[in-house]
Amino acid sequence: MNPEKIDQFAQQLLTAVTGAATTAMIVVGDRLGLYRGLAAGPATPAELAARTGTAERYVREWLSQQAAAGFVEYRPQTQRFALSDEVAAVLADPESPVFMAGSATLAHGWFAGIDQLVTAFRTGEGIPWHMQHPAVFEGTERFFRTGYAASLTSDWIPALSGIAENLAGAVIADIGCGHGAASVLLAQAFPEAEVRGFDFHPESIGVARKRAAEAGVSDRVRFEVAGAADYPADGYTLICLLDTLHDLGDPEAALVHARRVLAPNGAVLVVEPHAEDDFAANIANPMAALSYTGSTFQCVPASLSQPGAAALGAQAGPKAVTRLAASAGFSTCRLVSQTPVNGVFELRR
Ligand SMILES: C[S@@+](CC[C@H](N)C(=O)[O-])C[C@H]1O[C@@H](n2cnc3c(N)ncnc32)[C@H](O)[C@@H]1O
């Protein structure tokens, strides 16, 4: 036993646990609008409580923790707390290109699901998607939306050859659309296309319809409850599987179906979490520990609960996607773009 290494690891553990504690505090601040309230200007606990309709004593404790965590600045001269513009961009503004509060929402959902996951480890059974805590659905929507808003219609679709310029009058399908974040962005970016979102989770389809109405695009985006391998054929020019393929019990059947219902010149866009094929290289990526957690809590159990039970996992890597595309009969599977969060593939018939 090397005492120095014990010290180092104890520090590493404390950093991890403090991160989890701070994550719980982010969820509280996010839900109560405390970050948005503080983004309006420096405040004492009483001022922030008044701005957000909350109780001063609780807000004082929350602000103290956030100052200790380095998220907010404490100004002793005025006894006020302040949020920098940069932190506000990450935590207070859902429309910002760097908004990341959704990652804490996801963590909330994972903690709430620990008991059922522990049971699943013992039985080996899956956990159907609808059994997850609602924070998992909401966290998935909020976490991935930031990347979609930044890249889906401006980078990823233009990277597919001959697709962006042919979407007027075309039909686009969003498979496993969840709360419909991407479908709404597609409808906004391509107003002359018809967008159809499919998901087998009825509650998610209900939320997606609400999101489309709020965004004023209900006239050109329709949501229906349907499975990834049996949604209706419609000569789709673009079929999107966004952070969904690895959640499916039978991802190959979903790609076979996509190939069957795709227009002759159409493309399938598969967006998966960023991963390397080589395991050692993959775990060196700082995002991998987060991704494997999501995979353990949501993706592997979702897939294991469905016929096929392929359980690809969220970190399967480009080779696994390429193999699946080839088995489903696609002639090409090309990695067209990569971000620290996502790998983006184009599949052609
Ligand atoms: C990780 S979420 C991604 C949601 C959405 N694409 C997004 O990025 O926000 C995966 C989605 O796939 C859906 N799903 C899982 N298995 C499915 C299946 N066999 N058929 C249809 N949808 C499925 C789930 O209900 C969930 O909404």
**Domain end marker among 93, 111, 132:** 93
* Domains of the chain: total: 2
Cβ contacts of 60 within 8 Å, gap of 6 or more: 45
How far is the centre of ligand 1, averaged over its atoms, from the C-alpha of 4 (Å)? 46
Q: Above 90 in pLDDT, residue 339?
A: no
The C-alpha atoms of residue 151 and residue 98 are separated, in whole angstroms, by 12
Cβ contacts of 298 within 8 Å, gap of 6 or more: 109, 110, 129, 132, 136, 140, 247
How far is the centre of ligand 1, averaged over its atoms, from the C-alpha of 244 (Å)? 5
**Domain end marker among 75, 93, 111:** 93
Helix 3-32, helix 101-112: angle, nearest 10: 100
138 and 237 inside one domain: yes
Atom of ligand 1 nearest to the CA of 204: 27
146 and 282 inside one domain: yes
Query: Does ligand 1 come within 6 angstroms of the Cβ of 144?
Result: yes
The reported pLDDT for the residue numbered 298 is 98
Helices (H), ranges, 45-127: 45-52, 56-68, 85-91, 101-112, 114-123
**Domain end marker among 39, 58, 93:** 93
Q: Above 90 in pLDDT, residue 115?
A: yes
Burial of 13: CB neighbours in 10 Å, binned 0-12, 13-18, 19+: exposed
Atom of ligand 1 nearest to the CA of 244: 10
The C-alpha atoms of residue 76 and residue 73 are separated, in whole angstroms, by 10
129 and 35 inside one domain: no
173 and 253 inside one domain: yes
Q: Above 90 in pLDDT, residue 313?
A: yes
User: 259-297: per-residue pLDDT in tens?
Assistant: 999 999 999 999 999 999 999 999 999 899 999 999 999
The reported pLDDT for the residue numbered 198 is 98
The reported pLDDT for the residue numbered 11 is 98
Cβ atoms 90, 99 nearer than 8 A: yes
17 and 140 inside one domain: no
Q: Which band of pLDDT confidence, cut at 50, 70 and 90, is reported for residue 199?
A: very high
CATH code of the domain containing 46: 1.10.10.10
For the segment 52-80, the average pLDDT, to the nearest whole number, is 98
The reported pLDDT for the residue numbered 347 is 98
Residue whose pair of structure tokens reads 């996607």 in the numeric block: 321
Q: Above 90 in pLDDT, residue 310?
A: yes
132 and 113 inside one domain: yes
131 and 256 inside one domain: yes
Token pair of 193, please? 């296309």
Closest CA to 240 of 271, 217, 212: 271
Query: Does ligand 1 come within 6 angstroms of the Cβ of 250?
Result: no
Three-state DSSP state, 346 = strand
Q: How much is the mean pLDDT over the chain?
A: 97
Cβ atoms 186, 152 nearer than 8 A: yes
Strand order in the sheet with 221-225: 221-225, 194-199, 171-175, 236-242, 262-273, 342-348, 332-338
Q: Above 90 in pLDDT, residue 132?
A: yes
Tell me the percentage of the chain whose pLDDT exceeds 70: 100
The C-alpha atoms of residue 326 and residue 268 are separated, in whole angstroms, by 13
Task: Residue 43: give the domain boundaries.
Answer: 3-93
67 and 116 inside one domain: no
How far is the centre of ligand 1, averaged over its atoms, from the C-alpha of 8 (Å)? 40
The residue whose CB lies within 8 Å of the most ligand 1 atoms, and thus the one to mutate among 103, 106, 127, 129, is: 129
Q: Cα(first)–Cα(last) distance of the chain, in Å? A: 58
CATH code of the domain containing 284: 3.40.50.150
46 and 109 inside one domain: no
The reported pLDDT for the residue numbered 341 is 86
User: 221-249: per-residue pLDDT in tens?
Assistant: 999 999 999 999 999 999 999 999 999 99
325 and 253 inside one domain: yes
Which one-letter DSSP state was computed for residue 296? I
The C-alpha atoms of residue 236 and residue 61 are separated, in whole angstroms, by 53
The C-alpha atoms of residue 121 and residue 304 are separated, in whole angstroms, by 12
277 and 306 inside one domain: yes
User: 139-197: per-residue pLDDT in tens?
Assistant: 999 999 999 999 999 999 999 999 999 999 999 999 999 999 999 999 999 999 999 99
From the centroid of its chain, how far is CA 323? Answer: 24
The reported pLDDT for the residue numbered 223 is 98
How far is the centre of ligand 1, averaged over its atoms, from the C-alpha of 184 (Å)? 16
32 and 169 inside one domain: no
Query: Does ligand 1 come within 6 angstroms of the Cβ of 228?
Result: yes
The C-alpha atoms of residue 302 and residue 296 are separated, in whole angstroms, by 10
Q: Which band of pLDDT confidence, cut at 50, 70 and 90, is reported for residue 133?
A: very high
Cβ atoms 188, 216 nearer than 8 A: no
Q: Above 90 in pLDDT, residue 138?
A: yes
Tell me the percentage of the chain whose pLDDT exceeds 90: 98
The residue whose CB lies within 8 Å of the most ligand 1 atoms, and thus the one to mutate among 138, 146, 196, 199, is: 199
